[in-house]
Structure 1
Amino acid sequence: MTTTRVFEGRRIWRMHDAAFAAAVDLIAEAERAHQPELIVGIQRGGAQLALRLAAALNVPSVLVTARHNTSDAIAVQASGVVTVDAAPLVSVIPAARVLLVDDICGSGATLRAVTRLIVAAVGAERIRSAVLCRNAGADLSPDTWVWEVADWVSFPWETPPDQVTSPLAIPQEVRS
């Protein structure tokens, strides 16, 4: 069973490039002290975050594909079933400290599923997680996140919705 994500239906948030760039900088600063040796990004949403953090922290990254939503439609609840293609982890050099990133922690199921695979494949001693947004209904709190949301979020790498959106504010701090 999966946690029900919260969608209040008051707005659709839109993350613009400037807000994303500021969030990357804040997450990089927060995670630098933990000295990750590898960043694992969950495709599709976490790919851009993983690549930018890897560059900022000067560590390698790898992308894995995980799917939890049944469609890309706005405000669709998660299926409760997470499918993961962990094949890219096979070629990764073992790392003691891993940073797992995604665009959003909707329920926490995807982060949990990928964490289990990282432990098995990479032998990590410590896995931290960082996301751009955490849904208010999630029963998991990542180690680091920027925005707490209770409505749908449209990210810079997605096709903007054909509905009115509200911009997410440029962040000034991370949450943990």
Structure 2
Amino acid sequence: METVANAVHLPALDNPNERDAVGAELQTVLQDLIDLSLIGKQLHWSVVGPESHSLHLFLDELVGEWRELADLVAERAVTLGFVPDGQSVAVADGSRVEPVPVRSVAGHAVIWELARRVAGSAERVRERLTPIGAADLVTQDVLVDVVRTLEKQQWLLRSQFGEKV
């Protein structure tokens, strides 16, 4: 039940009964974004081949964007009164991003591996947009930013290196 004391400290949601559910959805997105950044770094260290230098730099950019998005998502959760968990155990338990093999990976395979994972993450967030919007339009807007960025990254992965993925 909302009281004057906590209503002053927490933003009003379109559906305040769904505050925990919105926080849990943000937690799920956060885990996937953190995992994408970890996978991006793994591939950053593992890429080999003629385009490895370019991909090395590109992966750093992607990892930076995923970390910024994770921060945006976590800060929205905190704003709503939900404490997110971005620790390795929580990410390992909750992420739905498929891990990559730990081995040297050719540049074209790096593009393929990331494109699949970024597309999957974007689709999962996109599926949440309507239900989240019913509870909180501001959180929906945050998730729209996440989808927008992930879909732009999909395009960059397909086009930057001339690969068909």
Provide the TM-score with structure 2 as the length reference.
Answer: 0.27
Which of structures 1 and 2 has the bigger CA Rg?
2
In terms of fraction of residues, the more strand-rich structure is 1
Provide the TM-score with structure 1 as the length reference.
Answer: 0.26
